[in-house]
């Protein structure tokens, strides 16, 4: 059963994330961590912006926050977000492929901690951050979903993932939420029955 | 099972370094530490962490490279300008009431944070009464901090941050440009004492009115954070100020209830008892 969903996006993410969040089932209990590239000066603006689109609780990560169900975690501006077994860690290490927070760092550490119990989602974006991380996640047995590059506001990021990883799902934005609901809620049902 | 083996090798490596050299990384947060060790392994061109252990134990030059590679020393002047603004507005008025102020910057890295504070205190007219103790576990960055010479190309960004932090002068007054470098004004150094201090292994060395420890505890696990909070509580005078990094909190401190927030969002706290 999936333990963590990690999501990465840059250019276009502020339009895509609300759509995705609105299509998530309120019954979804799998924790979600999001890296949205943004300017280092932007403080909690992203949290206020996204809150209206979800009933799940939304939180900007603080150091060593435990990873809890029914919660969406945002990488804070200017920090890398790392998964450390059942908690998060932060770092102000150098930017990775020009980005801090880096999608690669989140995906790689999620892969290390959760392997096949992690799901990675790459949405619209204008750089290649996430390509490495998605490949690692896949190699560790995780599931990789990308927004169909032909429908993405900026196709570069999902296309870069597609170029070096055999992704599990290529979906238009509007269907990614229901795919996640299906993967996380369906497995639970089949387990308990 | 590669990961379990890696974890065992890392434990042995850290234990070896501690036993032989006394540097204690055993309670650093694992995720970041693993990434740094893998990077060092690649830089040293070695296949296994066990090989790295042998090289470090037998070659002190390799230890020096390891020490530089293992900790994150990234820093900036006026990082999080709103923090410095809050310090100016909320903390400086409290400090004015003291005849003499001792400040400890724990984990000062290359010194930018310390000089930012010196500028702020100078502009507020209380620097003469202040003594700043700037410490870091890493000798190399500490030397850079003492030199107070930074790449000139950073000054444009620092100027922006300085202004957002409530700077009152023109930032260019604080440095002289020479050969692509910015040399900070000598008067800023006047009341700063730099010294090596390791938060994991060294003891309290004075009593302070202000302790700043920003973006250092994020690299420690819960046990080591707890240990450091004991050290800070022991080293902070009654009603003293404790300032942490923007995404840190007192949640892992055994003394949480001993402090009150005075600028909660900026992670500035005051010791009550
Ligand atoms: C990311 S820098 C933070 C610099 C600055 N305070 C800031 O916020 O910009 C972290 C610093 O902590 C130092 N450090 C790491 N472990 C330490 C320890 N055990 N004792 C003292 N300093 C340590 C590192 O050498 C590094 O310079």
pLDDT tens digits, one per residue of B71-126: 999 999 999 999 999 999 999 999 999 999 999 999 999 999 999 999 999 999 99
Q: At B213, which CATH number?
A: 3.40.50.150
**Nearest residue to B165 (alpha-carbon basis) of B124, B204, B226:** B124
Distance CA B28, CA B218 (A): 9
Helix-then-strand count for chain B, H and E: 10, 10
Average pLDDT over residues B50-71: 96
DSSP state of A93: P
Q: At A167, which CATH number?
A: 3.40.50.180
A1 or B259: which leads in pLDDT? B259
Is residue B199 lining ligand 1, measured as CB closer than 6 Å? yes
Smallest CA–CA distance, residue B109 to chain A, in Å, is: 12
- For residues B150 and B106, state if they share a domain: yes
Determine the structural domain holding residue B220 and report its residue range: 81-271
What ipTM describes this predicted complex?
0.94
Distance CA B158, CA B182 (A): 11
- For residues B16 and B38, state if they share a domain: yes
Number of domains making up chain A: 1
- Whether B76 maps to a domain, the answer reads no
A37 is catalytic: yes
- For residues B85 and B50, state if they share a domain: no
Average pLDDT over residues B257-271: 95
Would you write out chain A's pLDDT as a tens digit for each of its 193 residues?
A: 899 999 999 999 999 999 999 999 999 999 999 999 987 656 668 999 999 999 999 999 999 999 999 999 999 999 999 999 999 999 999 888 889 999 999 999 999 999 999 999 999 999 999 999 999 999 999 999 999 999 999 999 999 999 999 999 999 999 999 999 999 997 655 554 4
Q: From the list A63, A91, A105, which residue is nearest B248 (CB)?
A: A63
**Single pTM value for the model:** 0.95
Number of domains making up chain B: 2
Could you tell which of B213, B216, B217, B219 is best to mutate to test the pocket of ligand 1, judged by most ligand atoms within 8 Å of the CB? B216
Q: From the list A43, A61, A91, which residue is nearest B32 (CB)?
A: A91
């Amino acid at each position: 059963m999936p333990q963590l969903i990690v999501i990465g996006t840059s250019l276009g993410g502020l339009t895509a994330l609300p759509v995705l969040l609105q299509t998530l089932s309120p019954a979804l209990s799998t924790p979600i961590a999001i890296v949205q590239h943004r300017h280092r000066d932007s403080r909690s603006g992203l949290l206020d912006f996204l809150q209206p689109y979800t009933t799940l609780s939304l939180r900007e990560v603080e150091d060593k926050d435990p990873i809890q169900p029914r919660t969406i975690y945002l990488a804070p501006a200017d920090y890398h977000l790392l998964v450390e077994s059942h908690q998060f860690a932060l770092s102000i290490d150098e930017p990775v492929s020009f980005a801090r927070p880096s999608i690669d760092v989140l995906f790689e550490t999620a892969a290390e901690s959760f392997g096949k119990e992690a799901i990675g989602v790459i949405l619209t974006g204008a750089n290649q951050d996430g390509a490495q991380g998605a490949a690692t996640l896949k190699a560790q047995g995780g599931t990789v979903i990308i927004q169909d590059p032909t429908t993405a506001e900026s196709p570069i990021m999902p296309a870069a993932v597609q170029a070096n990883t055999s992704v599990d799902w290529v979906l238009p934005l509007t269907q990614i939420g229901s795919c996640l609901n299906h993967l996380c809620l369906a497995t639970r049902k089949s387990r308990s029955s | 099972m590669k990961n379990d083996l890696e974890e065992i090798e890392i434990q042995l490596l850290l234990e070896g370094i501690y036993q032989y050299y006394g540097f204690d990384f055993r309670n650093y947060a694992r995720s970041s530490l693993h990434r740094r060790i893998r990077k060092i392994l690649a830089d040293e061109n070695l296949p296994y962490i066990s090989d790295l252990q042998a090289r470090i134990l037998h070659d002190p030059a390799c230890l020096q490279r390891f020490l530089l590679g293992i900790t994150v020393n990234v820093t900036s002047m006026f990082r999080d300008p709103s923090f410095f603004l809050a310090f100016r507005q909320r903390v400086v008025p409290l400090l004015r009431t003291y005849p003499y102020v001792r400040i400890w910057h724990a984990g000062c890295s290359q010194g930018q944070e310390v000089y930012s504070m010196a500028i702020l205190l100078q502009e507020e007219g209380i620097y003469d009464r202040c003594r700043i103790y700037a410490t870091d576990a890493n000798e190399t960055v500490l030397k850079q901090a003492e030199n107070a010479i930074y790449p000139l190309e950073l000054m444009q960004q620092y100027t922006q941050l300085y202004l957002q932090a409530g700077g009152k002068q023109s930032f260019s007054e604080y440095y002289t440009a020479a050969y692509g470098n910015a040399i900070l004004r000598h008067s800023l150094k006047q009341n700063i004492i730099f010294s090596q201090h390791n938060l994991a292994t060294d003891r309290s060395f004075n009593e302070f009115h202000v302790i700043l420890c920003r973006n250092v505890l994020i690299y420690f696990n819960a046990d080591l954070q707890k240990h450091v909070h004991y050290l800070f509580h022991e080293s902070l005078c009654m009603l003293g100020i404790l300032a942490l990094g923007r995404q840190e909190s007192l949640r892992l401190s055994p003394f949480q209830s001993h402090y009150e927030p005075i600028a909660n969002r900026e992670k500035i706290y005051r010791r009550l008892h």
